[in-house]
Amino acid sequence: MTAYLVLENGTVMKGEYFGAQGEITGEVVFATGMTGYLETLTDQSYYGQIVLQTFPLIGNYGVIPPDFESANVGARAYIVKHPCKNPSNFRCEGTLDSFLKERGITGLYGIDTRALTRIIRENGVMNGKIMAAPPTNADFAETKAYSIKNAVAAVSSRTVTKTVRDSQAVKKRVALMDFGAKRGIANALAARGCEVWSFPHDTSAQEILKIKPDGIMLSNGPGDPAESANNGIIETLRVLQKSGVTIFGICLGHQLMALANGYSTRKLKFGHRGANQPVKELATGRVYITSQNHGYAVVADNGSFVNVNDGTCEGMDYGVSFSVQFHPEACSGPLDTSFLFDRFIERMNK
């Protein structure tokens, strides 16, 4: 069935529906990963966004539930050039098309994804709407008016949970503040002998410190870190920092930690989303290839890591605590920076 993508700058692109068929508005962003589409779809950092995959063939190894980063799809809609109809993988449990239909997620294919990516790169991230009929003036107005609000509250867990791989091998207790956490973070910690307690985003510092954690992990998540809805979290982080417990922030956790320390953030033109982002550790001069998914950056000239492509801050070191903009757990790869979890444990030991 024919479908249209309408951008707030007036661009209209024609394609075909797959997955669920419906009208949906969101912020259109592109991700450059050649693989990892399941991790992308189930990453809650994409809340409120329509995700465009730049790699032309998506879905070729099907749907594999153990690879999901969360129970739900984070993206509002999904755009690809060619969705694979006949996936091949010994772990495959279905097609991308059927998965999107089951989850009620609208898909669009058959448009010129290279042209769309170029529009975003040249003009910046913008809102878009997928619809079945040619657009009207009302559709353009609706598209332009869309904004992402209260994103963290929408995706954070509601209850406290505990993850432990082997109770006999527990070495450290870590409190994970869930802002839309990827499962890979808790799994990476559990694999290193950590008992991980996951807390909702609005948990007080007193409740977190009550479990006597050896370390505190700040997860990834969606939205503008400087949104007023996050002010309570930022105040909580200030209190947690004063406790002396080692804190490790990833992605949104990195940004919120910076805000708690007096730094500011800014929106990037088109963000960093994909599994091929180069970052340089300034202390060693070594460059790592990383997985990233963010549209905002910390404004700082004293960071510990820097993005090789555009020079933006990719990490901060506060002595006892530290944070990074990229994903060291990167379940779809690369795993170049997984050593940062070991660094977290080393700092807890000190």
Catalytic center residues:
251, 327, 329
Q: Among positive and negative, which fits the CA dihedral 284, 285, 286, 288?
A: positive
Give the span between the Cα atoms of 253 and 234, in whole angstroms: 10
DSSP letters spanning 52-96 = EE-SSEE-TT---GGG-SSSS---SEEEESEE-SS---TT--S-H
Residue 280, SS3 per DSSP? strand
Give the span between the Cα atoms of 129 and 12, in whole angstroms: 10
Angle, alpha carbons 290-172-184 (nearest 5°): 30
Give the span between the Cα atoms of 170 and 296, in whole angstroms: 35
Q: Single out the residue of 291, 271, 268, 275 nearest to residue 55, CA to CA.
A: 275
Give the span between the Cα atoms of 83 and 157, in whole angstroms: 31
CA 324 to chain centre: 13
DSSP conformation class of 28: E
- Measured from the Cβ of residue 343, the count of other Cβ atoms closer than 10 Å reads 13
Residue 278, SS3 per DSSP? strand
Q: What is the CA radius of gyration of the chain?
A: 20
Inter-CA distances, 158 with 147, 177, 208, 247, Å? 24, 11, 15, 22
Q: 283 and 247 in contact (C-beta within 8 Å)?
A: no
The verdict on whether omega for the bond into residue 278 sits within 30 degrees of 0, i.e. cis, is: no
